[in-house]
Amino acid sequence: MKPVVAARITVALMSAACFQLALAQSFPSKPIHVVVPFAPGGVVDLLARVLGAQISESTGQPVIVDDRPGASSIIGMETCAKAAPDGHTVCITVPDSLSYNPHLFAKLPYDAENDFAPVTNLAFTNNLLVANSKAPFNTYKEMTAYAKANPRALNWGTWGAGSLPDVYLRWVAKQAGVNITAVPYKGAGIAAFRAVYAGEVHITYMGFGTAMPQIKAGLIKPLVTLGDRRTRFMPDLPTLAEEGGDPALPSYFGLFAPGRTPKPIVDRLNEQFAKAARTPLAQKFYSERTMEPVLNSAAEFAAFVKADRANAGRVLRSLGVRPSAAPSS
């Protein structure tokens, strides 16, 4: 390469880098839109609103939460992926969207790996395997022993074949080496939860925040956490890995920007959302919902999401789940 050409390329690259840094320093220069690919009123929506209010207060720019539910979160994620990569549109989602959907659906309107820039893991929460309080076992190991001694006597409440809770429960059964009869219920878990409260089924899968009040009320008992670490809200409850299973089911609340968002803007978003998450109001929100902030770097979160996506594929393949056509609504 001729020296003159090389010099011009170097100058162009330096100019681009300086421009991106200048953009980051003045960011945000207009309202920030936070896309939530789920219905209003859910925990992701509420988290976006709590953090958005803190960011708006510190930056002086409005933060608008844009709920785009439907099609197993695909509608909202497509909105985020195709937004301008300037940091003024981001999305908050959970593992369903970018870890599981790429393996569950044959064709998505975006590339889960390249069309999103991971910013940070805003929080993790543990999902639990819970049992009716009168079930004839009190721990995960006792449950597996009961299931082996009483083939097909054990049942669980699920909400639809192929749903992620169904996948999680099937994975637990596979890890335990037991047969558990699935009892399907309509709706997003509520009917299955009521069934386990009433003793119509032995066990089900439940988020920690949902389970905690019912545990305190004596309606259910926790058997094991399905995450990759214990929770400070119930430190004596073991993980599936500690009980001899595979720690394959971590949960997260992740912040993502469109894929071509410049690194200085991604770093600025990371800084602002981490600052918002550490405010007293946000900490109160986290504690009330048994969520624990992670707030790692963009690089750390990107590595985590990549590994989680690969792990989700392994789990689904081991269960014989094959990709289907993407849902339309």
> Among residues 191, 225, 259, which one ends one of the domains?
225
C-alpha span between 16 and 20 (Å, rounded): 6
Is residue 82 assigned to a domain?
yes
If asked whether residues 39 and 104 sit together in one domain, one would say: yes
Q: What is the CATH number of the domain that holds 193?
A: 3.40.190.10
If asked whether residues 59 and 88 sit together in one domain, one would say: yes
- Mean pLDDT estimate for the chain: 90
Tokens of 104: 């569950």
If asked whether residues 155 and 304 sit together in one domain, one would say: no
- Given a cut of 60, whether residue 15 has pLDDT beyond it is no
Strands 203-207 and 155-158: parallel
- Given a cut of 70, whether residue 98 has pLDDT beyond it is yes
If asked whether residues 117 and 256 sit together in one domain, one would say: yes
If asked whether residues 193 and 264 sit together in one domain, one would say: no
Q: Could you give the number of structural domains in the chain?
A: 2
pLDDT per residue as tens digits for the range 173-207? 888 899 999 998 887 678 999 999 999 999 999 98
pLDDT (0 to 100) of residue 18: 43
pLDDT per residue as tens digits for the range 116-165? 999 999 999 888 999 999 999 999 999 999 999 999 899 999 887 667 78
- Given a cut of 80, whether residue 293 has pLDDT beyond it is yes
- Helix, strand, coil content of the chain in percent (nearest 5): 45, 20, 35
247, 238 Cβ separation under 8 angstroms: no
If asked whether residues 131 and 113 sit together in one domain, one would say: no
If asked whether residues 20 and 119 sit together in one domain, one would say: yes
pLDDT average, residue stretch 46-60? 97
If asked whether residues 215 and 279 sit together in one domain, one would say: no
Q: How confident is the model at residue 249 (pLDDT cuts 50, 70, 90)?
A: confident
Tokens of 269: 């978003």
Q: Which of 80-89, 121-130, 195-204, 223-232 has the lowest mean pLDDT?
A: 223-232
If asked whether residues 202 and 180 sit together in one domain, one would say: yes
Among the listed residues 26, 201, 41, the one whose alpha carbon sits nearest the alpha carbon of residue 129: 201
Q: What is the CATH number of the domain that holds 37?
A: 3.40.190.150
Q: Which amino acid is it at 302?
A: A
Is residue 240 assigned to a domain?
no
Structural domain including 180 reads 127-225
- Given a cut of 90, whether residue 90 has pLDDT beyond it is yes
pLDDT (0 to 100) of residue 244: 84
Is residue 188 assigned to a domain?
yes
- Given a cut of 80, whether residue 248 has pLDDT beyond it is no
Among the listed residues 73, 51, 63, the one whose alpha carbon sits nearest the alpha carbon of residue 123: 51
Peptide bond into 327 cis (omega under 30): no
If asked whether residues 143 and 115 sit together in one domain, one would say: no
pLDDT (0 to 100) of residue 305: 98
Q: Show the DSSP H helices in 1-110 as ranges.
A: 3-25, 43-59, 74-81, 95, 101-104
Is residue 7 assigned to a domain?
no
